[in-house]
Chains A and B, each alone.
Chain A
């Protein structure tokens, strides 16, 4: 019985990480940058749902997605786009700056006290197992998002253009693909996924502060690296791996205080054994 509970928890936590990791990995693959402000988009989504929740939870989710996407677009246009072609270090520092900016903005406009919501959708019983309905919704939603994204990338013109740009930006331009447009689409998708993940995290943790996105952000980044940064299925696999580690640690009292340490230790081991991550490809040497 414990085993099934563990699987369900693992899928739920892993699905949330996977949604965030997808944002990291797609932006890395396509824009060739590490967007360290990605975690703070989760925080933006978290605050939005908290503010809108008393009016209507559904409206709150929609508002979260819209607001996160807007912030994502503004950040891309104002902070990252001018640095296209600049050194990776400049872009990285800028991303860290954007992260701090978003946290400070939240502090100024919303305050430094954490805000919370209470969400209880009840439990369903299956024999001896009790499953939280919210957990099931999280799993269903993240699964739907991942399937939709996979289909989008594989079968739409824009999705294939994303693969093309991530593989060879110059050759993609020769096809008439507008790289800036594709990067913008990537930020939109990444921010929308972060918003959804943020909503589920708020429902679970029920408490949002200005650094709310930092820990899930860094773990999802670890997930993206474990899976192979730049690879979409890799982000999904990496997210689930971390989710299951967390679920197992959560159920073993001796391990649970060390959950974070174990997760990052596994990241280090994966990097030592397979530096490209599970599904990451070795970049071809360009002549």
Chain B
């Protein structure tokens, strides 16, 4: 059974329909990517899944349970979270406090302690700067913090919205490397990216969004090889 299942989703902003009858699923243990140009509806889809936007039609199931209509904070408690587009770290809180916020729903103190260690090991920069106000971090560090913060909730399903946006090529590589590591530890990943090349390379499966519709789907390798994709997203 799929861990996440989206069925016939429609989303409107006023009279404008941003998402048109989208259906897809993410199975446990997979990395699935939604690729598409700006305005294709990727972020809208992500925000609908986590309950920040309310779809006008369709259903979203997580672990067999219907989750649309449930408030976001309760959806997060079910075991999924999101690294939002633009990182959206809490710039007035310190790095440490941001990570504490990531563990907001957790009661297991020992586990949280251990995860702090793991995250500081994975991102030594965050440990160096743990008492620094997060707004003073560089863009790359902020992305690391956003990812660390999300993983602090120990999600079963981690969704990342454009994690490579605005980063230098070196940092982009690092971000994809970290996503792979989260995945190896057993986290199911749903990724939204404009960087089709890199994201398809690590994906089990992918869906291509265009003007609010899914126009193509397949395995990461299939789509990487597809002529259409090459033309539209991979620069020839």
Q: Which residues of A pack against B, CB within 8 Å?
A: 157, 160-161, 163-164, 167-168, 170-179, 281, 284, 286-287
* Chain B interface, number of residues (Cβ within 8 angstroms): 27
When the two chains form their complex, are residues B76 and A160 in contact, meaning their CB atoms are under 8 A apart? no
What CA separation (Å) do A177 and B101 show in the bound complex? 9
Asked whether A170 and B88 contact (CB < 8 A) given A176-B104, A178-B71, the answer is yes
Q: Residues of A contacting B92 with CB < 8 Å?
A: 163, 167, 281
**Closest Cβ–Cβ distance, residue A58 to chain B (whole Å):** 37
C-alpha gap A175/B75 in the complex (Å): 10
Q: What CA separation (Å) do A281 and B92 show in the bound complex?
A: 10
Q: A171-B88, A174-B50, A287-B86 are in contact. Are A164 and B73 (CB under 8 A)?
A: no
By the criterion CB–CB under 8 Å, are B71 and A168 in contact?
no
B104 and A168 contacting across the interface, CB-CB below 8 Å:
no
B76 touches A173 (CB 8 A): yes
What is the CB-to-nearest-CB distance from A219 to chain B, in angstroms, rounded to a whole number?
A: 27
A178 to B91, CA, bound (A): 20
Interface residue SS majority, chain A: helix
B71: chain A residues within 8 A (beta carbon): 173, 178
In the bound complex, how far is the Cα of B43 from the Cα of A286, in angstroms?
15
Q: How far does the Cβ of B104 sit from chain A's closest Cβ, in whole Å? A: 5
B residues apposed to A, CB below 8 Å: 50-52, 71-73, 76-77, 81-82, 84, 86, 88-93, 97, 100-102, 104-105, 149-150, 153
Which 3 A-B residue pairs are closest in the complex by CB-CB distance? A176-B105, A176-B76, A173-B72
* B88 (CB) vs chain A CBs: closest residue: A171
Residues of B within 8 Å of A176, CB to CB, are 73, 76-77, 81, 104-105, 153
Contact A160 B102 (CB under 8 A): no
For the complex formed, measure the closest distance between the CB of A170 and the CB atoms of chain B, giving whole angstroms.
Answer: 5
CB neighbours of B100 from chain A (8 A): 157, 160
CA distance A168 to B105 in the complex (A): 18
Q: Are B84 and A171 in contact (CB under 8 A)?
A: yes
Residues of A within 8 A of B104 (CB): 157, 161, 175-177
B232 to chain A, nearest CB (A): 24
Which of A157, A168, A179 is B90 in contact with, Cβ under 8 Å?
A168
A154 CB to closest chain B CB, in angstroms? 9
Q: How far is the CB of B24 from chain A (nearest CB, A)?
A: 21
Report B-chain residues with C-beta under 8 Å of the C-beta of A161.
101, 104
